[in-house]
Chain A
Amino acid sequence: MSPALEAHASTPLRGFSLEVGLTVRPGETLALVGPSGAGKTSLLRVVAGLMAPRSGRVALGEETWLDTERSIDLPAERRRCGLVFQEYALFPRMSVWRNVAYGVDRPHGQRRAAAVEMLERFDVSGLADSRPVSLSGGERQRVALARALAAQPRVLLLDEPLAALDAATRRGALRELRSVLGELGVPAILVTHSFEEAALLAERLAIVDRGAIVQAGSPAEVSARPRSPFVADFAGAVVLRGEATSEPGELTLVRLEGGGEVRSVDSASGPVAVSVFPWEILLEPPGGSPRDSVLNRVDGEVASVTTIGNRARIGVSVPQPLSTEVTAHSAAAMGLRPGKRVTAAWKASATRLIPLG
Chain B
Amino acid sequence: MRRGSWFAALATLAAVVALAFLVVPVIAVFANVGPWRLLDALDEESAREALWLSLRTTLLALAIVIGVGTPAAYLLASREFRGRALVLTAIELPLVMPPAVAGIALLAAFGPRGIFGPAISGAGIELVFQTAGVVVALVFVSAPFFLRQAIASFAAIDGRLLEAARTLGAGPFRAFATVALPSARTGLASGLALAWGRALGEFGATLLFAGSLQGVTQTAPLAIFADFSRPAGFVSALALSAVLILVSAALLLGVKLLGGERALEGAPRP
Stretch of B23-31, B51-59, B156-164, B194-202 on the interface side: B156-164
Set A48, A87, A93: member contacting B167, Cβ < 8 A: A48
Q: Assess the A77–B169 pair: CB atoms within 8 A.
A: yes
Q: Mark B156-182, 1 if CB is under 8 A from A, else 0.
A: 001011011111111100010011001
Q: Assess the B158–A89 pair: CB atoms within 8 A.
A: yes
A62-84 interface (Cβ within 8 A of B): 75-77, 79-83
Set B160, B166, B185: member contacting A75, Cβ < 8 A: B166
Chain A residues positioned under 8 Å from B165 (CB to CB): 91, 102
Measured between alpha carbons, how far is A94 from B165 in the docked complex, in Å?
A: 12
Residue of A nearest to B182 (CB): A93
A334 CB–B CB distance under 8 Å:
no
**CB proximity of B55 to chain A, nearest CB, Å:** 31
Measured between alpha carbons, how far is A174 from B208 in the docked complex, in Å?
A: 70
Determine which residue in B158, B163, B267, B270 has the highest number of CB atoms from chain A within 10 A of its CB, and name it: B163
Stretch of A126-134, A229-237, A262-270 on the interface side: A126-134
Chain B residues positioned under 8 Å from A122 (CB to CB): none
Number of A-B contacts (CB under 8 A): 85
**CB proximity of B156 to chain A, nearest CB, Å:** 13
Determine which residue in A91, A105, A130, A153 has the highest number of CB atoms from chain B within 10 A of its CB, and name it: A91
B266 CB–A CB distance under 8 Å:
yes
B34 CB–A CB distance under 8 Å:
no
Q: Mark A90-104, 1 if CB is under 8 A from B, else 0.
A: 111110000000110
Residue of A nearest to B266 (CB): A134
A132-149 interface (Cβ within 8 A of B): 133-136, 147-148
Chain B residues positioned under 8 Å from A82 (CB to CB): 167-168
Q: Assess the B179–A91 pair: CB atoms within 8 A.
A: yes
**CB proximity of A353 to chain B, nearest CB, Å:** 26
A22 CB–B CB distance under 8 Å:
no
Q: Assess the A76–B166 pair: CB atoms within 8 A.
A: yes
Q: Mark B217-229, 1 if CB is under 8 A from A, else 0.
A: 0000000000000
**CB proximity of B264 to chain A, nearest CB, Å:** 6
Measured between alpha carbons, how far is A77 from B179 in the docked complex, in Å?
A: 14
Set A85, A93, A153: member contacting B160, Cβ < 8 A: A85
Q: State whether A80 and B169 are in contact (beta carbons under 8 Å apart), knowing that A89-B158, A131-B264, A134-B264 are contacts in the complex.
A: yes
A50 CB–B CB distance under 8 Å:
yes
Measured between alpha carbons, how far is A147 from B175 in the docked complex, in Å?
A: 16
Chain A residues positioned under 8 Å from B161 (CB to CB): 89, 91-92
Q: State whether A50 and B166 are in contact (beta carbons under 8 Å apart), knowing that A134-B265, A134-B269 are contacts in the complex.
A: yes
**CB proximity of A98 to chain B, nearest CB, Å:** 9
A151 CB–B CB distance under 8 Å:
yes
Measured between alpha carbons, how far is A131 from B171 in the docked complex, in Å?
A: 24
Q: State whether A134 and B267 are in contact (beta carbons under 8 Å apart), knowing that A76-B167, A87-B160 are contacts in the complex.
A: yes
Q: Assess the B269–A135 pair: CB atoms within 8 A.
A: yes
Measured between alpha carbons, how far is A85 from B168 in the docked complex, in Å?
A: 12
Q: Assess the A136–B270 pair: CB atoms within 8 A.
A: yes
Measured between alpha carbons, how far is A80 from B165 in the docked complex, in Å?
A: 11
Q: Assess the A102–B168 pair: CB atoms within 8 A.
A: yes
Chain A residues positioned under 8 Å from B268 (CB to CB): 133-136
B183 CB–A CB distance under 8 Å:
yes
Measured between alpha carbons, how far is A147 from B167 in the docked complex, in Å?
A: 11
Set A75, A91, A130: member contacting B265, Cβ < 8 A: A130
Residue of B nearest to A45 (CB): B163
Q: Assess the A89–B160 pair: CB atoms within 8 A.
A: yes
Measured between alpha carbons, how far is A94 from B161 in the docked complex, in Å?
A: 12
Q: Assess the A50–B167 pair: CB atoms within 8 A.
A: yes
Chain B residues positioned under 8 Å from A151 (CB to CB): 167-169
Chain B residues positioned under 8 Å from A133 (CB to CB): 264-265, 268
**CB proximity of B178 to chain A, nearest CB, Å:** 8
Residue of A nearest to B269 (CB): A136
Q: Assess the A50–B163 pair: CB atoms within 8 A.
A: yes
Measured between alpha carbons, how far is A257 from B165 in the docked complex, in Å?
A: 43
Chain B residues positioned under 8 Å from A135 (CB to CB): 268-269
Set A77, A148, A153: member contacting B166, Cβ < 8 A: A77
Measured between alpha carbons, how far is A82 from B169 in the docked complex, in Å?
A: 9
Chain A residues positioned under 8 Å from B267 (CB to CB): 134
Q: Assess the B164–A85 pair: CB atoms within 8 A.
A: yes
**CB proximity of B185 to chain A, nearest CB, Å:** 8
Residue of A nearest to B181 (CB): A93
Q: Assess the A89–B163 pair: CB atoms within 8 A.
A: yes
**CB proximity of A128 to chain B, nearest CB, Å:** 13
User: Which residues of B pack against A, CB within 8 Å?
Assistant: 158, 160-161, 163-171, 175, 178-179, 182-183, 185, 264-270
Query: Could you name 14 residue pairs across A and B whose Cβ atoms are closer than 8 Å?
Result: A76-B166, A76-B167, A87-B160, A89-B161, A89-B163, A91-B178, A92-B183, A102-B170, A130-B266, A131-B266, A133-B264, A147-B168, A148-B168, A151-B168
6 tightest A-B CB contacts, nearest first? A103-B168, A134-B266, A93-B182, A89-B164, A76-B166, A89-B160
Other A-B pairs, 9, CB within 8 Å; known A85-B164, A136-B269: A49-B166, A76-B166, A77-B175, A83-B164, A91-B164, A91-B179, A102-B178, A130-B266, A136-B268
